[in-house]
Amino acid sequence: MDELASADGLGRFLTLADTAEILNISASQAYSLVRSGELPAIKVGRAGHWRIERTVLEAYIEGKYEESRRIGLWNQAEYSSLPEYSFDPDRPRGGQTRTSTT
């Protein structure tokens, strides 16, 4: 059981508040991640409190790092110069040009 507890004293399962603190987000944002299914969790107890397994949260974080890495590689690829394939939200799409309104 000691393997599952970290240096911060938290056990195998984390509350939404613990998860929010680790991710540096609000508890409502953590709840949204769980409700959407993006962050797998279980309900325990009669009241149905959400719990996130520490290893699942760590895998979620690693997955986000991998997603960022892949987007970075995609943006460096030769297709990134084509607006319709870019992940850059500020880049114009479909031949449109952004103009300044100042």
Give CA angle at 19 (50, 32), nearest 5°: 60
Res 76 pLDDT > 90: no
Amino acid at 9: G
Mean pLDDT of 63-72: 92
Tell me which of 21-30, 61-70, 72-81, 90-99 is least confident.
90-99
32 closest CA partner among 44, 47, 20: 20
For residues 33-55, average pLDDT: 95
pLDDT bucket at 1, cuts 50 / 70 / 90:
very low
